[in-house]
Each structure stands twice: as structure tokens, then as C-alpha cells.
Amino acid sequence: MISRLYSASVTGIKGYEVQVEVDARPVDDVGRMTIVGLPDAAVRESIQRVTAALSNSNFFQPGQLLVTVNLAPADVRKQGPGFDLPIALGLEMVIQQNCDNMPELFRRRVPAGLDDWCILGELALDGKVRGIRGVLPLAVAARNAGRRYLMVSQENATEASVVDGLQVYAVETLRDAWDVLLERERFSPVPAHSGEFRSIGEKDFDEVKGQPYARRAMEIAAAGGHNLLMCGSPGSGKSMLAARLPTILPPLTHDEALEASAIHSVCGLLPREGGLLRCRPFRAPHHTISDVGLMGGGSTITPGEISLAHHGVLFLDELPEFNRRTLETLRQPLESGVITISRASGTMDFPCSFMLVAAMNPCPCGYLGDPRHSCRCRPAEVVRYRQKISGPLLDRFDILIEVPPVNPASLLSKPDGESSAAILKRVLVARERQKLRYAGTGITCNARLSSKLVRTFCPLTGSQQNMLLAAVSQLGLSARAFDRILRVARTVADLAGHEQLADSDLYDAIQFRQFEQQLHS
Ligand SMILES: Nc1ncnc2c1ncn2[C@@H]1O[C@H](COP(=O)(O)OP(=O)(O)OP(=O)(O)O)[C@@H](O)[C@H]1O
Ligand SMILES: [Mg+2]
Ligand SMILES: [Zn+2]
């Protein structure tokens, strides 16, 4: 007699259902337990955890057994320690039903009719149930496969309870798990989590004094989803401005929150107190990050920083310090919003649609052009420093600005800057205009307009065409920069409430590219 329970596993960021079948029969010689169905190392080690957890939980261990665990479907790789709990429960069910010489003391009623359950959890040697990674996509997979009840550790309960259509039962130990399966009615499920969003609160644009030009650039970037590069001397507030960008971005929609949270879930990065990600992710990897850390990969393929920034902001501080080759690999995913990772273990697509925000100093010492410090760099050093950022990468930024040093007097002065809430209001109005305009095209913001759609949605008058052509030839801009100016102009117009691009909208957008020429020279 065998037992059959449902569990789930994840590849990349997608969950799928797995059937856990356990067969156990007594043997005369040495007992053995084998797991088949493409288990990874963590799944194979399940054997030791399951046996220890069962005996430490006072479940009966009959002498020598030949145990076979089959994880179906057999052709997909199974990852992680999450099968411990269903394997242990399944094994005990078989033992209870097949063992003739079991002392009365150990006899238990065996739960039945478990087809509605999906069971997930790692076991500690003492029988405690531990949390696992990726519970959110696993719970979604269980729900989509038609399961009604989900069993997870206490640690994973809030994360799982966001998924509607599933009743989540949190268990602390293997024995609890047995009791819950036996008499579900006696226990109450975890209250459904609304997955509500809360503002991040601590950081606010009102702390940023002065810097009207940089603040405006931030607002435009947020309103149209544009990539932004800031250049300025140390202490001018670049990192400070970037960190406040998420506070003026529109809240995540439910679908966006689910998608972004699934990525954080498989990386074990969802906040424990629960629910979905509440505000747009802001990822600021250090410039020493490896390619795998940034792009994703590894022996079991996991998402990198660019995917963790999905639907949010990727901030590359000290941009020229990043490995040049690493920066170049960013170009393709920046354009497509998807990264494809190929390894011996398979090929996987991860979403990575993010706003790129970067900061840099004007030169290696940082003070070139600063009226209050003199720059110690030789011209050749400045050129080498700037050349670390290739033309094609610069081309990916819609808005390039210089952030001047702050005047110390303005740091003490009142009033404070405008608050994030006030800026967000204008951003939301501009986003609403974009949503209406692009309804049915699958595009959500100006930054995502294709070259063709730019022509459709940003028509220019004759004199505007001349103005743009003059700017492009004077600044030596590429065809890609041409489209970028139009997209930014569209956002400036949306913020100003202009249905048609005004000359001033186009003019502002051109200003945001002026600086590119300086960086190249
Ligand atoms: N406009 C500003 N208003 C208020 N405080 C500011 C402003 N600019 C800078 N500061 C203060 O200076 C500190 C340093 O700013 P920040 O780290 O953002 O500079 P940075 O431009 O990123 O410098 P670096 O090039 O060295 O990275 C901030 O933490 C903040 O306290
Ligand atoms: Mg900084
Ligand atoms: Zn310098």
C-alpha cells in the first residue's frame, strides 16, 4: 500500500504541483530509503531529516524498511527542502497501515481524503516545521491545481495567506501537522491577508533642500517611468534623491505586487510580517556585485538584482565603478524587460522591467566643476573614467542631469522641500493620462513607447521638427536619443496637462540631454 500527497515545487519563479508517493515495505537485511523523480541535493537530504524528525516526534519506527519516495512528474527537477513534511506524513501513513507488530501505544488514526491538501515544509531534526522559500508562487500553483487547503509552517503562513481561494493552515510541528490533517474542523485557518499596501513612510522628498532642477527631473522620471542618470560632486544629494524615488511612484497594482512578490519570495526576501510587497522595490546593488548577482543565474537558477527590481527601481550608485562588461550586459534586458538565463540545468526567463537610476561623480576625485573644491584629476583620467560608460549605455537613459553641490545655507533654511505626497499627486494624474491614451496597447507609461508608437502619439509641428533636428545635430545625438527626447517631452506635457506637445515641453526634454555631450567630450 502506498500513500499519495500533494506538494509543490518551483523552477525559476513559477510554481508547479508535485505528487509525493511513498511506498514502504519491511526487509530482512539493511533498510534503505530512496527518493526518485529528479531530486536536487536538498531533496535527497530529506531522508535524514525525515527519519530523525519521525522518531523524535514519537512516531513508530519499525525495524528495517525499504522506502521509495517518488516525486511526480518525474521529468522536472525538484528543488529545496519543502518536501520533508509531505514525505514524513506519507511515510508515517504507510507505516501505520502496514505494520502488524506496532505496539498499541504508537497506533494512531490515519487521516484520509487528503486530495484537497497541498503540504509544504522543511523539517528540523526534532520535528519542528521550518519555513521555506518561494511559498507565494507555490501557493498560487496549489490553488491553480485545484487544492483547497494549504499546510505551511508558521513562518510562511502570512505570505501564503495572500493567495485567495486557499485556506492556509499553519503548523508548528510534525505532530501538529498530523492532527490538522486528521481533524481539520478543529483548527482554524490563518485569516486571509488583504495584501494591502502601505507607504514606506520614513523617507520623504521634503527632506531634500534646494535642488529644484534635480527634483523636477525626478518627478518627470517617475511620471513617465524614465531612466535617469545623475552626475555631481560628492555630497550633492544624488543617493538621497534616488532613495526617495519610490515614494513618488504610483502604488503597485495587485498583479504587479503578486509578480514582484513572487520574485522576492523565491529569493527568500519577502518581509516576514507578511503579505505582498507594499511599495515598489528599490534595489541598490554595490558596484562589486557579480554578473550572476546582478543578472541572475547560479547552479539552481535564481533571479538577480535586475529581477528583484521588477516593477520598481534599480539604482546603480557610482556607475563608473561597475565592471564595464557587467554594465554592457544590462543593455538587452533594459530594452526587453526580460532576462533569459541559460545554464546546463535549463533555460529560464525572468521578468525585469525596472526604472534604471544611476549616479556618478564628474571625475575620479569627484570635484570637477565644483566651485568650492579644485579637481585633482588629469584630463586623461577624466576621459578614462567617463569612457567606462559606453555610448550605447548612455543612450538608455532618457534623462541626464547635473546635480550641483548644495549651498550650505540652504541646508539650514526653511521651508523644507515639497513633500512626496504632493509630488505623487501630480505623478498620478500624469500616469492616468498615459493609461487612458495607451488603453489596449499593453503599454503603461511613456518610457515604454516603441519607436513606431512614439511617432503616433508624439506628433510634432513643423517648427518643432526643426527645433528637434537642430538639437540632435548640435548635440550629436543618436536615433535612439531622438525617440527618448520625444518620450520625455510627452511626459512633460502630461504633467502640464497638454494634450498636444507644446514647444516648451520639447525644449525641456532637449535640456535633459544637453549633458550627454559633456559626458562624451
Ligand atoms: N539637497 C539636500 N538637502 C538636504 N540634505 C542634503 C542635500 N544634499 C545632501 N544632503 C546631505 O548630505 C548627505 C550626503 O548626500 P548623498 O549621499 O546623497 O550625496 P551623493 O551625491 O550621493 O554623494 P556621493 O557622490 O559621495 O555618493 C545626505 O545624507 C544629506 O544628509
Ligand atoms: Mg552617493
Ligand atoms: Zn577630479
Residue whose CB lies within 8 A of the most ligand 1 atoms, among 209, 233, 240, 361, for a mutation test = 240
CA 393 to CA 375: how far, in whole Å? Answer: 26
Q: Which of 221, 237, 205 is nearest to 415 (CA)?
A: 205
CA 511 to CA 494: how far, in whole Å? Answer: 17
Q: Whose CA is nearest to atom 6 of ligand 1?
A: 237
Residue 82 corresponds to which cell in the numbers above? 519543502
Res. 435 pLDDT band, cuts 50 70 90: very high
**Residues 417 and 207: beta-carbon distance below 8 Å:** yes
Comparing 424 with 346, the larger pLDDT belongs to 424
Q: Which of 313, 314, 311 is nearest to 246 (CA)?
A: 313
Report pLDDT for 195: 55
Which ligand neighbours the alpha carbon of 235 most closely? Answer: 1
Percentage above 70 pLDDT, the chain: 97
CA 503 to CA 466: how far, in whole Å? Answer: 11
Distance 362 CA to ligand 3 centre (A): 7
What separation in angstroms does the CA of 114 have from each of 4, 54, 119, 207, 391? 8, 20, 10, 56, 60
With a 6 Å cutoff on the Cβ, whether 319 touches ligand 1 is no
With a 6 Å cutoff on the Cβ, whether 211 touches ligand 1 is yes
Position 183 pLDDT exceeds 50: yes
Residue 296 corresponds to which cell in the numbers above? 541572475
With a 6 Å cutoff on the Cβ, whether 268 touches ligand 1 is no
Domains of the chain: 2-186 (3.30.230.10), 205-520 (3.40.50.300)
The 10s digit of each residue's pLDDT in 417-430 is 899 999 999 999 99
Of 27-41, 78-92, 139-153, 169-183, minimum mean pLDDT range: 27-41
Provide φ and ψ at 207, rounded to 5°.
-80, -15
The number of C-alpha atoms within 13 Å of 322 and in the hemisphere containing its C-beta is 27
The helix or strand, by DSSP H or E, that contains position 346, with its residue range, turns out to be strand 346-351
Name the average pLDDT for the chain: 89
With a 6 Å cutoff on the Cβ, whether 249 touches ligand 1 is no
Res. 274 pLDDT band, cuts 50 70 90: low
**Nearest atom of ligand 1 to the alpha carbon of 403:** 21
CA 250 to CA 393: how far, in whole Å? Answer: 26
Number of helices (H) and strands (E) in the chain: give both, helices first. Answer: 21, 18
**Residues 171 and 121: beta-carbon distance below 8 Å:** yes
Distance 468 CA to ligand 2 centre (A): 33
What is the pTM assigned to this prediction?
0.85
With a 6 Å cutoff on the Cβ, whether 411 touches ligand 1 is yes
Q: Which of 119, 184, 178, 129 is nearest to 155 (CA)?
A: 129
Residue 401, SS3 per DSSP = strand
| Amino acid (one-letter) located at 112 | A
Which ligand neighbours the alpha carbon of 360 most closely? Answer: 1
- The DSSP secondary-structure symbol of 57 reads T
The number of C-alpha atoms within 13 Å of 175 and in the hemisphere containing its C-beta is 10
By residue count, the chain amounts to: 521
Cβ neighbours of 272 (radius 10 Å): 9
- Taking a 5 Å cut-off on Cβ, the residues next to ion ligand 3 are 363, 365, 368, 375, 377
CA 323 to CA 282: how far, in whole Å? Answer: 21
With a 6 Å cutoff on the Cβ, whether 199 touches ligand 1 is no
The 10s digit of each residue's pLDDT in 115-160 is 999 999 999 999 999 999 999 999 999 999 999 999 999 999 988 9
Q: Whose CA is nearest to atom 13 of ligand 1?
A: 235
